[in-house]
Chain A
Amino acid sequence: MSSPRPRIRRKVAILFVRHSIDLELLDSHLVSEERGRAAGAPTDAAGCHGERAGPAGMLSPVNPPHHDDPAAVRRARAGLTLFFLYVVLYAGFIGLVLVRPEWLSWRPFGGVNLAIAYGLGLIAAALALAAIYMAACRWADRRSSR
């Protein structure tokens, strides 16, 4: 059995890779989207392979929404970046609990230990990232409406 630490490191590495793939994918949509618009061509973003849902029709149109709309691509990218940031914070916490539990008794924050501070910090971070995401979405919408 290997020790849990390399596992965690590997997991983080995998997340990094997966995340950058996501971003690349989105970037390629964004680029092709803008290129398409510049050329005045009808936009059918890269990667969708024209699989519009066809005639089937009980449901409305059908590609993942961020493939069609550059603002949506930017919003999705902001969301993924922040998501990844939170994953690092959350995985860091679980890693500490599992691998270095003794560090959690450290009391640097006015007598409150790291376990409590990190836990409350994760809740606060969720709210802070949510607020940043809202601002990023507003920014993305403004930018694409220009």
Chain B
Amino acid sequence: MLHETSAAAIAIFSAFVLGVVGLSFWLGRRKQSAQAYYAAHGEVHWFVNGVAFAGDYLSAASFLGICGMIATAGYDGFLYSIGFLAGWIVALFVIAEPIKALGRFTFADALDARFNSRGIKLAVAISTLVVSVFYLIPQMVGAGSLITPLLGLPHAAGVVIVGVVVTLIVVTAGMVSTTWVQFIKGSLLVLFCGLLTGLILTRGFALHGGRPGGADLAPQVRTVRPDGSVLVNGRPQSRENDLRPVGTVVKLPDRFAGTSTGPLSPLEFLSTLEDSTVVTWSATKRSDADGVHTTYSPVERKGADLLKPGGSFKGLTTGRLADRLDFASLMLALFCGTASLPHILIRYYTVKDAAAARKSTVVGIAAIGGFYVLTLYLGLGAMTSGALDPTDSNMAAPLLARTFSETLFAVISAIAFTTVLGTVSGLIMAGSGAVAHDLAENVFGMRMTDHEKVRCGKFAAVGLGGIAIVLGILFKSFNVSFLVGWAFNIAASANLPALVMLLFWPRTTKQGIIAAVTVGMVSSLAWILLSADTFEKVYGLSREASIVPFSQPGLVTIPLGFAVLVVVSLFTNGRGSR
């Protein structure tokens, strides 16, 4: 579908960017200590830190991706929400307090606290950089692909804007400005999703998206010709001849006599949808001499089927054991990965003490959990709004907002784009700490004054910002959404076993930790590179050629990390390894 450029969206986004950059310069106006740059003086209020957790964690993938997935596949998008939130339980109950007490600036500090080993710092710094870069690439590519429909600018512009703005935020005041940007983004996201949910519930459901019915069930064809021009239903694409928006309710429960339900309570909304019939769509592609034809066919589905698992994870319905294990593996990685993501862990060093770390995690859980409940309503609201673009599920939330008002569309588009800023600044900050504090200072033993440490961190941030821009442009045409899954899997397999065993098993040795981090990182990476998903989506080979039984490594590599740590620790125990 063609999207109009919204001047209001660009204005709101520009105002936001100028605002946060101005704020960053103001926060960074004084000379900074390393403690200020890397840990915001350790004086951030727990409530601010809690909301900043939400701003750090809720990436574009969480907001646009999950909304889009719920809008197209129903319940399965919500499964991701459940897994993403469950990970915070590990963070709160197991990790929060000790990591605060053990570390100073980075996750490597905490893992190394008992041993003072350069090997641990090196291994952990590398795993931090690998996880951060893998997390960074989809954010940057996402920024590029979002900016075209949201603000009407080209891909590279989106990547460069995000890269430059984020580098400015990090370089001006480090963790202080990063915290405030994440706080602002987190609050805006939750507030406006709440507002949108309120509007959805007040409107209720209307047959055929509130339009005269009848056209819902006609298929549409989009053709991309060899010269790059686009046809819709056989004629050139234009404002007058564009794909019809999709996603409508075609039958309401009998208790509603008219064409709409009127206002519904949150529970009524769900139960009404379950008794309704909804038209979603499926896409099939074929190529011939005239170009690539994609047919979007309407599919009539019972609400009750959309609100149970299996819409997107086909393995849940086919019953193949490997497919089910794949799903279990994904849910395990989401559960274990959150609490080992470096950009989340460094937020624990910005608060005063362990009690503040705890309180801020609870605030984070409330904000993030609330947000995921809201996205369920946003996704289902979008699915039935009659406004969706069949070619781009990421646009579900903004297009839903457009059915209420153009202003709301502008605001939601601007916020969607700023979600990228908050997460990327957290990632650059984590990477900057790994390069300057862990690698340069602790591994290579560069002696630095406090001021030099800050400068080194800022150089690292500029370098990482540049790398992020280059990667964001290079990976433009790759399918990068799976990289977030990689990041979670690597974090869960490399970092979590080391962290948990260090805390709860007194016989852990430094060799055990180094081995667990290295093996966890390498094995999960290798598994992913050999998996059916990667064969199909990255190499363009057939799924059957893959040699691992299922795509998600967590179920195998997380226990492997634990096993390696135990075995190596037992072998090296008592050799003066402490």
> Chain A interface (Cβ within 8 Å of chain B)?
1, 4, 22, 25, 47-49, 51, 53-54, 56-60, 62-66, 72, 75-76, 79-80, 82-83, 86, 90, 93-94, 97-98, 101, 104-105, 107, 109-113, 115-116, 119-120, 122-124, 126-127, 129-131, 133-134, 137
Contacts and interface: CB of A to CB of B under 8 A. Distances in A.
B215 interface: no
B89 A94 contact: no
Given A54-B116, A116-B75, A129-B93, 16 more contacts: A64-B98, A66-B98, A80-B93, A86-B86, A90-B86, A97-B327, A101-B309, A104-B309, A111-B268, A112-B274, A115-B308, A116-B307, A119-B75, A119-B79, A123-B81, A131-B362
B117 to A, nearest CB: 9
B506 A133 contact: no
A63 B192 CA distance: 44
A133 to B, nearest CB: 7
22 contacts: A25-B504, A25-B506, A51-B578, A56-B116, A59-B113, A60-B104, A65-B354, A72-B354, A75-B97, A83-B90, A86-B93, A101-B316, A101-B317, A104-B309, A112-B267, A113-B307, A122-B82, A123-B81, A123-B82, A123-B85, A126-B89, A130-B365
Contacts of B93: 79-80, 82-83, 86, 129, 133
A27 to B, nearest CB: 13
A93 B274 contact: no
Interface in B74-101: 75, 78-79, 81-82, 85-86, 88-90, 92-94, 97-98, 101
A64 B578 contact: no
B570 interface: no
Contacts of B307: 113, 115-116
A49 B506 contact: yes
Contact of B335 (A25, A51, A56, A90): A90
A138 B270 CA distance: 38
Given A64-B102, A115-B309, A123 B90 contact: no
Contacts of A83: 89-90, 93-94
A89 B328 CA distance: 14
Nearest to A86: B89
For chain B, give the interface size range: 35 or more
Contacts, number: 164
Interface stretch (B150-158, B176-184, B366-374, B389-397): B366-374
Interface string B369-391: 10011001000000000000000
B195 interface: no
A79 B502 contact: no
Contacts of B85: 122-123, 126
Contact of B359 (A72, A107, A116, A134): A134
B321 interface: yes
Contacts of B104: 59-60
Nearest to A90: B86
Nearest to B504: A22
Contacts of A79: 92-94, 97
A126 B509 CA distance: 33
Contact of B86 (A22, A51, A58, A126): A126
Contact of B116 (A53, A120, A130): A53
B475 interface: no
Contacts of B317: 101
A134 B359 CA distance: 8
A123 B354 CA distance: 24
B571 interface: no
A65 B102 contact: yes
A99 to B, nearest CB: 9
A146 B310 CA distance: 54
A113 B274 contact: yes
A121 to B, nearest CB: 10
A101 B97 contact: no
